[in-house]
Structure 1
Amino acid sequence: MRFSRPSVQPEVETQTRILEAAKKLFARRGYDGTTTRDLAQAAGVAEGTIFRHFESKKAILIEVATQGWVELLTDLLTELSEMGSYKAIAQVMKKRMLNLHKNADLLRVCFLEAQFHPDLRQQIQTDVIVKMTDVAEAFFQTAMDQGIYRRMNPRVVAQIFLGMFTIAGFSQDSIIPEGASPQAFLEMAEGMADIFLNGVLAPEPAR
């Protein structure tokens, strides 16, 4: 006997539509340039429905940005945990950069709006960034304990890694033009991984 998968609850589906509409509109018009009427129209709901799910437009912004950061960084850390080798950073970089490029709207909201809303920035920092940095720190600490990475502050390493990966993805249109070949992505990913793993200083000649 086959059992049908239960349908998504209408209330959850409505909330998801509102958040998806907000992500697109906030990215293109900005938070201040988007009204709740705009959100309702884009989501295909009545304006009053917006306030049955969220207490304010600011609450929608915080939910979009927080969910976005959780999704992006969770995917990254999952990739790290599934790496076949601690040296396979380039593979993770390439896959994550491609996915970041597909999430351009989300990144614009996460980065740009956080600059103008201290409460949003604080919530992302405490609820997402700190927790994800904790996980990345443990990952790099293990690599150091195994002698694969040299000893240094694992939290600083985690912060540098997360920052490098995120900024590269967010700035991709200026670093790598849209429609660039897979080889271009590979070269960028390998370059970032090489710099992260080996730095930029030439090795000193043997004496």
Structure 2
Amino acid sequence: MFEQEKKLIDEIARLNEAHLKMTEKQNNIIQAAIEIFSEKGYAASSTSEIAKRAGVAEGTIFRHYKTKKELLVSIVTPTIMKLIAPFILEDVGEVLDKPYNSFREFLYEIMKNRIEFVKKNLPVLKIFVQEIAFHSELQDKYKKYIAEPLFNRIKDIIIYFQEKGEIAELPVYSIIRIVASTVIGFFYMRFLIFPDLEWDDEAEIELTIHFIMSGLSPLKGK
């Protein structure tokens, strides 16, 4: 495994350890599961593989986690909890609370802020993106801890710029859907589909924002 990826996995494991107060064996199991789930996907992974890489008996896994799904959720849950802090309350909370001269400026700060976060947490975020469509437990946690709080924060910002006449008078839900699908699409291509391309992040951010703003600009004469 590359040294950079190992550092990422170690950091995620420390996050789990702090959140769950894990034993050394649990920590080893979590690290091994993160590696294997990220490499092969949840469905193609086996607890025997995880146990072998963690250096424990397979039965040890089931003493700590009743099922493979419980192990998956134990990895993703602390990550979602970590997303709350920087995304809602800390880093992005500060971004959301800043006064902006334009909606374009707001979009730029949000995208710039999140690129480093994704780079830092890519292995477990990759697992989350791959598995959320198949596990209601992950969907429920995502909705509760990320989607709903984030929507409530961004909704007020959109309304503010609509009242300034900078954004078209479209339903707020529609605007959030348009912005989210475009931004998430960039991150998906950038980090999951073509991560080895020579990306110019600054240029891609500008292009993404230009596309969004072109679609959301008020119609002339309105």
Q: TM-score, normalised by structure 2?
A: 0.67
Aligned-pair CA distance for 1:25: 0.2
Q: Contact between 1:23 and 1:105, CA under 8 Å: does it hold in 2?
A: yes
| Paired position in structure 2 for 1:195 | 211
Aligned-pair CA distance for 1:54: 0.7
Q: CA separation in 1, counterparts of 2:182 and 2:24?
A: 35
After superposing on structure 2, the runs of 4+ consecutive aligned residues of structure 1 that deviate more than 4 Å are: 7-10, 148-152, 173-177, 201-206
| Paired position in structure 1 for 2:184 | 166
Aligned-pair CA distance for 1:60: 1.0
| Paired position in structure 1 for 2:117 | 99
Q: CA separation in 2, counterparts of 1:159 and 1:79?
A: 22
Between Structure 1 and Structure 2, the one with more helix by share is: 2
After superposition, the CA RMSD in angstroms is 3.5
| Paired position in structure 1 for 2:201 | 185
Q: CA separation in 2, counterparts of 1:102 and 1:171?
A: 17
Give the length in aligned residue pairs.
193
| Paired position in structure 2 for 1:44 | 55
In structure 2, do the counterparts of structure 1 residues 17 and 166 end up closer, same or farther at CA, with 3 Å as the change threshold? Answer: farther
Question: Paired residue for 1:123, among 137, 142, 154?
Answer: 137
* One-letter code aligned to 1:109: I
Aligned-pair identity (%): 22
Q: CA separation in 1, counterparts of 2:113 and 2:210?
A: 16
| Paired position in structure 1 for 2:30 | 19
| Paired position in structure 2 for 1:60 | 71
Q: CA separation in 2, counterparts of 1:155 and 1:205?
A: 23
* One-letter code aligned to 1:190: E
| More moved, 149-158 vs 80-89 | 149-158
Runs of at least 5 residues in structure 1 that lack an aligned partner in the other structure = 1-6
Q: CA separation in 2, counterparts of 1:176 and 1:32?
A: 23
In structure 2, do the counterparts of structure 1 residues 80 and 199 end up closer, same or farther at CA, with 3 Å as the change threshold? Answer: farther
Matched, 1:137 2:151: yes
Q: CA separation in 2, counterparts of 1:186 and 1:50?
A: 44
Q: Contact between 2:83 and 2:146, CA under 8 Å: does it hold in 1?
A: no
